[in-house]
């Protein structure tokens, strides 16, 4: 029984690191921000609350912060917003 | 133990590799060198010109798009270029990131404007802000352009869908196609084809003779290598031995699969190489190239269907057939299937010829008309074949469902063609062949999976025997590996077959992968959402925690506590407690890794909790009692206890109940709460010392003191009686008929006193007889 469990664990371990493609953004400030995301052929607004962490952009997008800064995201990256500015991890 | 450590190391290595691969796959953080302001603006200027160039290109593509709104192939090309533009825009946007980081960092250092700061600082701030604004403007332009490009890509998708729908629903005038002019047009087209090919051949012979010889030579070399090589290396796998009269099911399946796959793969490689060599040497003219590509596609598909049908139906070798069919039916079916594929392929190739030669529409329509009618008829004939034998040996038809599907497909093609919906009829015919081939291959894969999962099938196969010998597995484990393998094959069949079918229906790879990604990531049912990947991750984390706990328990018990000479009862308690804690922790972490939001369930659980609480009262009571027993250890495994009216040795202490084995070898499973809530007598709690009481009755007429001294003698003389505490005989009382004595002796092991008591009683009887003491 344990052998089959081991083999099952191994197979799962091979499947699980599947491409988790979205970018993760964490808001480290105390205020919430409204980001404008241009993904595909449309723009949308996303609100991220204080201390919240969300996933956006599974295929590359342009991001505009409330203070006018712009960023480009491609793929599984992590970054944080601190004092209204973006910092990549 | 050795094997499990090696195994663990391998698991760890594998996990590390996978994680490392994932980390490497992420974008590396760009190393930014300190660039001066001047180069910064220079870079901006370069990027600006590049973005302007991209904008111009997009305009050109837009014009092309409008011009070619009816040509599917051109639309696909434009889309590819647009996707490349989009990637370039994203890449150029990302290239600004290090510079932006430097600017932001420096601006943070400089800080906010202050009253008494030096002018140079204010200047620097101004310059940095200006550059940053510049970059932001550029990114804004890139964003607008990217939005536009993506809009065009979506427009192309819509246009193609509309085109496709139009092709299917367009009705042609059949009568215009089926008349004398068609023959004339056909002859004219044949002449055109002949002249085109002829002119190309003469051109090649005159100007490119050496190139064509080299290219053909290389292609032939590739062909021979592939044909001979595949036979040599894989021959054993896919050659059906004529002499073998009863091949195993798995053997037949494997031969079917490999004899389809390997020769087709070899042929595809050969065709691709031929095209490549001809293209490389510049031998091909544009129209000849189109014809050649269409021809090669057609050859590959027909060959695939040919091999699949010959393996599946196996007309010449009945023993190797996958399904038990009558031989004449197998022959018929083989030829019918092959003909269907051939006709459809010829129609496809013919269409390419029509396109290249710009033939009149009537010819295209006529050709497709006859081809699709033929295909419809063939499919209906296939439906009418009776391949099986029933119990009396009479021919039996297909499964009714399959027959209905075949009739529908064949009839649909026929009707569509006759009514003039040639596009629809062609589409159905092509799908019958290609989707049919893919579905059949998937079916063979599914059959293989079922065959492997049969008991003992895997261990009998060649691969199973090899694995068993190498890893020294027993039959039960091989069976389980067979089960897992069959599950993997099923998953593979679905994972490869379904996207293939969708791809050739016209969906894009990007669509399919984003669907699967969304499906795996989040499934929403009302307001409750969960993710498949999350659940799999949760299970994986739990399994890792579980094995980790077991390993930790074994290490703790085997290495730490055994060496520390800890008492067996304590070891058992600690091991069990560690086990519970570990599994509970693994379960909690697994649940949270699965990302299941339990707060919705909490409402329901709250309502049920009252009833569940009442019902589980006793269980929880027992569970907590069990924990207290583990901690306090009023008895340990092996003790002789008296509890709840039962007496016996403790065999196992579990979370809910404890197992006691009575002296009659009956196992009494007592809930733990009896031990906590009531008194428990433990004969062997501190040590195994105990007192044996033997009541003796002597007749009233005997001399009491004499009886007393005899009994004292007997008990003191016995070797098992301990001197300290000393034995004693008490004169408890008397009635008119008897004198009551009790022999009280201490023995070293209270658990094994039956022989002691027997011996004493024998001696008492013998001595009384000898002394004349009456009982």
CB B676 within 8 A of CB B622: no
**B524 phi and psi, to 5 degrees?**
-105, 125
Q: What is the mean pLDDT of chain B?
A: 83
CB atoms within 10 A of CB B265: 15
Look at A70 and B139 and tell me if their CB atoms are within 8 Å: yes
pLDDT computed for residue A4 by the predictor: 53
Residue B32 reports pLDDT greater than 50: no
Q: What is the dihedral of CA B280, B282, B287, B289, to 10 degrees?
A: -20
3-state secondary structure B6-67: HHHHHHHHHHHHHHHHHHHHCCCCCCCCCCCHHHHHHHHHHHHHHHHHHHHHHHHHHHHHHH
CB atoms within 10 A of CB B246: 6
Please state, for a pLDDT cut of 70, what percent of chain B lies above it. 90
- Strand (E) positions, B344-502? 388-389, 395-396
- B489 vs B444: CA distance, rounded Å: 11
Among B412-416, B432-436, B481-485, the minimum mean pLDDT is found in: B481-485
- B574 vs B344: CA distance, rounded Å: 74
pLDDT computed for residue B666 by the predictor: 94
Using an 8 Å CB-CB cutoff, list chain A residues near B148: 41
SS3 content of chain B, % helix, strand, coil (to 5): 75, 10, 20
Return left, alpha or beta for B27; rule: phi > 0 is left, psi -120 to 50 is alpha, else beta.
beta
Using an 8 Å CB-CB cutoff, list chain B residues near A74: 27, 90-91, 94
Check whether the bond before B725 is cis (ω within 30° of 0).
yes
Using an 8 Å CB-CB cutoff, list chain B residues near A72: 90, 93-94, 96-97, 139, 142
Whose structure tokens read 């024998």? B762
Residue B1 reports pLDDT greater than 50: no
Candidates B47, B58, B132, B139, partner chain A, best to mutate (most A CBs within 10 A): B139
Helices (H) and strands (E) in chain B, counts: 25, 12
Over residues A3-31, the pLDDT tens digits come to 555 655 655 555 544 445 678 888 888 88
- B347 vs B294: CA distance, rounded Å: 11
DSSP state of B322: S
Average pLDDT over residues B590-599: 76
CB atoms within 10 A of CB B604: 9
- B155 vs B521: CA distance, rounded Å: 28
Strand order in the sheet with B728-734: B690-699, B738-747, B728-734
CB atoms within 10 A of CB B231: 15
What is the ipTM metric for this complex?
Answer: 0.79
b/e code B684-701 from CB counts within 10 Å (16+ = b): beeeeebebebebebeee
- The nearest CA of chain A is from the CA of B292 a distance in Å of 37
pLDDT computed for residue B2 by the predictor: 44
Average pLDDT over residues B668-676: 91
Residue B395 tokens, joined: 């021919």
- B43 vs B97: CA distance, rounded Å: 12
- B364 vs B7: CA distance, rounded Å: 65
Among B507-521, B658-672, B743-757, the minimum mean pLDDT is found in: B507-521
- B292 vs B287: CA distance, rounded Å: 9
Residues belonging to chain A: 89
Spacing of C-alpha B368 from chain mean position = 43
Q: Rounded to whole angstroms, what are the CA distances from B713 to B452, B698, B702, B758, B760?
A: 79, 16, 17, 16, 11
CB B700 within 8 A of CB B734: yes
Candidates B17, B44, B543, B554, partner chain A, best to mutate (most A CBs within 10 A): B543
Residue B35 reports pLDDT greater than 60: no
The CATH number assigned to the domain with range B690-771 reads 3.30.70.100
Please state, for a pLDDT cut of 90, what percent of chain B lies above it. 16
- The nearest CA of chain B is from the CA of A45 a distance in Å of 15
pLDDT computed for residue B29 by the predictor: 41
Four-residue CA torsion sign, B50, B54, B60, B64: positive
Using an 8 Å CB-CB cutoff, list chain A residues near B537: 16
Average pLDDT over residues B591-618: 79
Which of A6, A38, A85 faces B143 most closely, judged by CB atoms? A38
Over residues B569-591, the pLDDT tens digits come to 677 778 888 898 999 999 988 88
Over residues B105-130, the pLDDT tens digits come to 888 888 777 777 788 888 888 888 88
Q: Which residues contact A75 (CB under 8 A, 6 or more apart)?
A: A21, A23, A60, B26, B27
Over residues B679-728, the pLDDT tens digits come to 999 998 888 888 999 998 888 888 888 888 888 988 888 888 888 889 99
Using an 8 Å CB-CB cutoff, list chain A residues near B458: none
Which of A14, A42, A62 faces B18 most closely, judged by CB atoms? A14
- Rounded to 10°, the helix B249-280/B286-313 angle is 170
């Amino acid at each position: 029984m344990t052998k089959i469990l081991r083999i099952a664990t191994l197979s799962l371990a091979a499947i699980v690191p599947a491409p988790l493609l979205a970018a993760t953004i964490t808001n480290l400030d105390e205020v919430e921000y409204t980001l404008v995301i241009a993904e595909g052929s449309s723009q949308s607004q996303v609100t991220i609350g204080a201390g919240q962490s969300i996933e956006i952009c599974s295929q590359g997008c342009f991001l505009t912060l409330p203070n006018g800064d712009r960023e480009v995201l491609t793929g599984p990256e992590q970054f944080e917003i601190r004092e209204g500015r973006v910092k990549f991890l | 133990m050795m094997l499990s450590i090696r195994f663990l190391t391998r698991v760890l290595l594998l996990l590390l590799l996978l994680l490392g691969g994932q980390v490497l796959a992420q974008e590396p953080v760009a190393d930014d060198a300190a660039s001066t302001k001047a180069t910064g603006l220079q870079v901006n200027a370069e990027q600006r010109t590049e973005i302007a160039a991209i904008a111009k290109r997009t305009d050109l593509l837009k014009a092309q798009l409008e011009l070619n709104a009816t040509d599917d192939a051109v639309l696909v090309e434009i889309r590819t270029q647009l996707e490349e533009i989009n990637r370039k825009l994203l890449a150029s946007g990302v290239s600004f990131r290090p510079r932006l980081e430097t600017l932001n960092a420096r601006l943070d250092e400089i800080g906010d404007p202050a009253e008494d700061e030096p002018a140079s600082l204010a200047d620097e701030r101004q310059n940095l802000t200006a550059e940053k604004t510049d970059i932001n403007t550029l990114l804004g332009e890139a964003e607008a352009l990217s939005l536009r490009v993506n809009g065009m890509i979506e427009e192309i998708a819509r246009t193609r869908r509309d085109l496709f729908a139009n092709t299917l629903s367009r009705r042609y005038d059949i009568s215009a196609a089926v008349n004398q002019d068609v023959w004339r047009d056909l002859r004219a087209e044949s002449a055109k084809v002949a002249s085109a090919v002829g002119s190309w051949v003469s051109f090649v012979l005159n100007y490119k003779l050496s190139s064509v010889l080299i290219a053909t030579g290389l292609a032939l070399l590739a062909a021979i290598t592939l044909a001979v090589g595949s036979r040599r290396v894989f021959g054993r796998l896919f050659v059906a031995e004529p002499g073998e009269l009863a091949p195993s099911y798995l053997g037949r399946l494997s031969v079917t699969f490999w004899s389809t796959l390997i020769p087709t793969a070899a042929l595809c490689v050969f065709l691709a190489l031929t095209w490549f060599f001809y293209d490389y040497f510049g031998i091909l003219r544009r129209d000849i190239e189109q014809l050649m590509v269409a021809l090669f596609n057609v050859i590959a598909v027909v060959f695939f269907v040919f091999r699949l049908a010959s393996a599946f139906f196996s007309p010449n070798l009945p023993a190797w057939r996958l399904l038990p069919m009558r031989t004449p039916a197998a022959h018929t079916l083989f030829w019918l299937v092959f003909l269907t594929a051939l006709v459809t392929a010829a129609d496809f190739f013919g269409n390419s010829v029509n396109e290249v030669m710009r033939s009149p529409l009537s010819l295209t329509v006529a050709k497709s008309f006859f081809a699709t009618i033929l295909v419809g008829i063939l499919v209906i004939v296939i439906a009418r074949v009776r391949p099986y034998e029933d119990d009396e040996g009479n021919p039996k038809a297909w499964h009714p469902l399959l027959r209905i599907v075949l009739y529908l497909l064949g009839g649909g093609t026929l009707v569509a063609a006759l009514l003039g919906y040639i596009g629809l009829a062609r589409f159905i015919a092509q799908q019958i062949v290609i989707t049919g081939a893919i579905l059949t291959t998937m079916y063979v894969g599914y059959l293989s999976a079922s065959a492997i999962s049969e008991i003992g099938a895997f261990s009998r196969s060649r691969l199973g025997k090899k694995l068993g010998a190498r890893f020294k597995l027993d039959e039960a484990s091989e069976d389980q590996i067979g089960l897992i393998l069959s599950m993997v094959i099923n998953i593979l069949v679905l994972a490869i077959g379904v996207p293939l079918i969708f791809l050739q229906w016209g969906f894009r790879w990007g669509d399919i992968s984003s669907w699967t990604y969304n499906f795996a990531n989040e499934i929403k049912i009302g307001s409750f959402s969960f993710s498949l990947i999350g659940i799999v991750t949760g299970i994986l984390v739990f399994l890792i925690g579980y094995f980790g706990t077991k390993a930790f328990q074994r290490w703790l018990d085997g290495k730490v506590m055994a060496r520390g000479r800890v008492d067996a009862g304590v070891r058992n308690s600690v091991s069990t407690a560690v086990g519970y804690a570990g599994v509970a922790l693994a379960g909690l972490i697994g649940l949270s890794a699965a990302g299941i939001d339990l707060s919705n369930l909490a409402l329901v659980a709250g309502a049920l909790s009252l009833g569940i609480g009442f019902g589980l009262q006793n269980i929880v009571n027992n569970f907590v009692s069990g924990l207290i027993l583990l901690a306090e250890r009023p008895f340990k495994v092996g003790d002789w206890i008296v509890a709840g009216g039962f007496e016996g040795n403790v065999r196992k202490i579990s979370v809910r109940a404890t197992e006691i084995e009575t002296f009659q070898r009956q196992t009494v499973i007592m809930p733990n709460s009896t031990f906590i809530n009531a008194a428990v007598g433990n004969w062997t709690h501190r040590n195994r010392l105990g007192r044996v009481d033997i009541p003796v009755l002597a007749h009233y007429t005997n001399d009491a003191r004499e009886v007393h001294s005899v009994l004292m003698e007997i008990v003191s003389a016995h070797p098992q009686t301990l001197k300290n505490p000393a034995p004693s005989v008490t004169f408890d009382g008397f009635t008119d008929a008897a004198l009551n004595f009790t022999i009280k002796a201490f023995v070293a092991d209270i658990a094994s006193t039956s022989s002691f008591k027997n011996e004493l009683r024998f001696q008492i009887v013998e001595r009384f007889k000898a002394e004349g003491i009456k009982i």
